[in-house]
């Protein structure tokens, strides 16, 4: 199977917004599309998906398997170029390194391994389960407006939050401090235009929820992602993803956010972990 055979129909917004054209020397031309931003800055998961769209094609393998990105600069709409280097071509994995450039500004640096996601059910061990949350119709639809910030990407994604995680939006209790509550966001996510999830779009899904630290009394300001790693475990079945994002340790102005993404059949499809900063005033 070649990478081009697994590209889904380009009728969906996400595919148009992450399509790339191969140039010479391992370079790819693409663009940061309008409308995938939060307050004008492109969503980090979307930026990663553009880069992985290009690197996946360079790898000749159908699926990203483990992906790490360092975020270097905000992404603004306009043309971008992805440069790629093949680090190793193995039987099971192809390892690539690459950069997403906006003009001469490096926006993202990526190190990623590609292969074919396995569905071997011969051995499975799970010490964990999909998030426990009310059915989708009892959840809180994430609004496009968040305080004074326009979350434009919410035109592209439908997110339904577990009501006990939605206090930042509804004005209800934020959770931490109440017994049994944690710095955790739980909810469902689908593309607004009905595009099914695949291993490429999991890059976006891993970074599209409100930060779990919204449950904490952090000083106001950005919580920029420094690094995001995604492990892909399975191809998602049709239907919304069931997601849980948790922050356990805030120390030294830094924190992690761990994500678990499950498909509608209860299969784990991805694990993610971010390293983020509490911005200084």
Q: Which helix (H) or strand (E) holds 51?
A: helix 44-59
Does position 179 bind a second copy by CB under 8 A? no
Binding-site member from 88, 104, 180, 194 for a second copy (CB under 8 A): 88
- DSSP three-state, residue 175: coil
Does position 178 bind a second copy by CB under 8 A? no
Does position 106 bind a second copy by CB under 8 A? yes
Shorter beta-carbon distance to a second copy: residue 5 or 121: 121
Listed in sequence order, the residues at least 6 apart from 116 whose beta carbon sits closer than 8 Å to its beta carbon are 1, 61, 62, 63
Shorter beta-carbon distance to a second copy: residue 172 or 177: 177
Does position 125 bind a second copy by CB under 8 A? yes
Size of interface with a second copy, in residues (CB under 8 A): 59
Binding-site member from 20, 48, 58, 113 for a second copy (CB under 8 A): 113
Binding-site member from 20, 65, 133, 243 for a second copy (CB under 8 A): 65
Shorter beta-carbon distance to a second copy: residue 201 or 231: 231
Cα–Cα nearest to 206, from 157, 255, 254: 157
Please, which residues bridge with residue 195 across strands? none
Q: CB 278: neighbour CB atoms within 10 A?
A: 17
Does position 248 bind a second copy by CB under 8 A? yes
Does position 99 bind a second copy by CB under 8 A? yes
Does position 273 bind a second copy by CB under 8 A? yes
Residue 18 has phi, psi (to 5 degrees) of -120, 10
DSSP structure class, residue 235: P
Rounded distance between C-alpha atoms, residue 148 and residue 39, angstroms: 9
Shorter beta-carbon distance to a second copy: residue 102 or 247: 247
| Touching a second copy, residues 29-58 (CB under 8 A) | none
Does position 261 bind a second copy by CB under 8 A? no
State in angstroms the smallest separation of the CB of 30 from a second copy: 20
Cα angle, residue 278 at apex, residues 36 and 190 outer, rounded to 5°: 30
Listed in sequence order, the residues at least 6 apart from 39 whose beta carbon sits closer than 8 Å to its beta carbon are 149, 150, 151
State in angstroms the smallest separation of the CB of 68 from a second copy: 4
DSSP 29-44: EEEE-TT-EETTEEPH
Binding-site member from 10, 21, 23, 92 for a second copy (CB under 8 A): 92
CB 72 within 8 A of CB 85: no
Does position 250 bind a second copy by CB under 8 A? yes
Instruction: Dig out the tokens for 141 from the structure.
Output: 């639809």
Binding-site member from 111, 136, 152, 192 for a second copy (CB under 8 A): 111
CB 151 within 8 A of CB 124: no
Rounded distance between C-alpha atoms, residue 64 and residue 148, angstroms: 36
Residue ranges binding a second copy (CB under 8 A): 65-66, 68, 70, 72-73, 87-88, 90, 92-93, 95, 97, 99, 106, 109-111, 113, 117-120, 123-128, 176, 182-183, 216, 218-219, 226-227, 229, 231, 233-234, 246-256, 267-268, 271, 273, 275, 277-278
């Amino acid at each position: 199977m070649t990478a081009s055979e697994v590209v889904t129909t380009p009728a969906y917004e996400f595919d148009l917004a992450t399509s790339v054209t191969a140039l010479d020397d391992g370079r790819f031309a693409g663009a940061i599309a309008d409308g995938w931003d939060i307050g004008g800055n492109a969503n980090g998961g979307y930026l990663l998906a553009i880069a992985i769209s290009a690197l996946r094609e360079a790898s000749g393998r159908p699926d990203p398997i483990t992906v790490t990105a360092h975020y270097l600069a905000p992404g603004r709409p306009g043309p971008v170029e992805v440069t790629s280097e093949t680090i190793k071509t193995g039987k099971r994995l192809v390892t690539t390194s690459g950069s997403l450039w906006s003009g001469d500004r490096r926006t993202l640096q990526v190190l990623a391994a590609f292969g074919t996601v396995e569905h071997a059910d011969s051995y499975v061990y799970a010490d964990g389960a999909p998030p426990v949350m009310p059915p989708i119709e009892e959840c809180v639809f994430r609004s496009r407006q968040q305080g004074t910030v326009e979350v434009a990407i919410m035109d592209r994604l439908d997110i339904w939050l577990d009501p006990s995680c939605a206090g930042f939006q509804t004005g209800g209790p934020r959770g931490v401090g109440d017994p049994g509550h944690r710095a955790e966001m739980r909810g469902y996510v689908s593309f607004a235009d009905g595009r099914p999830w695949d291993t490429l779009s999991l890059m976006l899904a891993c970074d599209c929820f409100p930060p779990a630290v919204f449950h904490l009394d952090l000083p106001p300001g950005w919580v920029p992602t420094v690094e995001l790693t995604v492990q892909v475990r399975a191809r998602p079945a049709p239907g919304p993803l069931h997601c849980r994002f948790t922050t356990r340790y805030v120390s030294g102005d830094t924190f992690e956010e761990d994500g678990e993404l499950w498909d509608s059949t209860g299969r784990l499809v991805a694990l993610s972990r971010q390293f983020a900063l509490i911005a200084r005033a």
